[in-house]
Amino acid sequence: MKEKLKKFIFAEVIYHENPASFGNGDDLLEAGLDSMGIMRLIMFAEREFGVILPDTEIEPDNVHSLDALERWIRQAGQAQ
């Protein structure tokens, strides 16, 4: 899951000179993930992983890293 998210983020949302060097716990917000990018990422994750990520849960704690995104997506999948 993290690899799919990472591929999408660095191909479609954030420019990073060396995406391979970006760790799972590194801060996506500091790397340039903005509100429009978050929305694109959420739409991708919902489509790719078959979950619904509630708007009420869009907060920095859920999108600040690949680890956080994976945790949020897995929790959303279990809640459905």
The rounded distance, in Å, linking the Cα atoms of 26 and 76 is 22
And the tokens for 70? 């994976």
CB 28 within 8 A of CB 66: yes
Instruction: Give this prediction's pTM.
Output: 0.90
Number of domains present in the structure of the chain: 1
Residue 31's closest CA among 42, 43, 15? 15
Range of the domain at 55: 2-79
In this prediction, residue 52 carries a pLDDT of 95
Residues 22-35: tens digit of each pLDDT: 999 999 999 999 99
Report the CATH number at residue 8: 1.10.1200.10
Q: Going residue by residue through the chain, which has 80 residues, state the pLDDT in tens, using 9 for 90 and above.
A: 999 999 999 999 998 888 889 999 999 999 999 999 999 999 999 999 999 999 999 999 999 999 999 999 999 988 76
CA neighbours within 13 Å on the CB side: how many for 28?
A: 27
Dihedral of CA atoms 32, 33, 35, 38 in degrees, nearest 10, equals 170
